[in-house]
Amino acid sequence: MGAKKKMQDLPGWVKALLGVFGALDVVLRVLAVMDAAKRPDDELNGPKKVWLPALSVVSSFGLLPAVYFLLGRRDD
């Protein structure tokens, strides 16, 4: 197995990219939580009591908020 790299050993562009994706994840999660909180339960695919904690806690580089925006809302 290879040695684990420490953050300080990464090139600057990799650190910047991680920062950008981390910030994007936070923004998407905040927008998704705000959207889910204001929607009535019948406009969500799945229970709100599952979506809100998952969106609030799980750091997923934007994957979970993207799933919420694509599949978690009902726009009938």
pTM of structure: 0.77
pLDDT value of position 75: 75
The three-state DSSP-derived secondary structure of 27-51 is HHHHHHHHHHHHCCHHHECCCHHHH
pLDDT value of position 45: 93
Q: Is 60 exposed, middle or buried (0-12, 13-18, 19+ CB in 10 A)?
A: middle
Mean pLDDT by 10 residues, the chain (76 residues): 77 92 89 95 93 86 86 82
Q: Is 47 exposed, middle or buried (0-12, 13-18, 19+ CB in 10 A)?
A: exposed
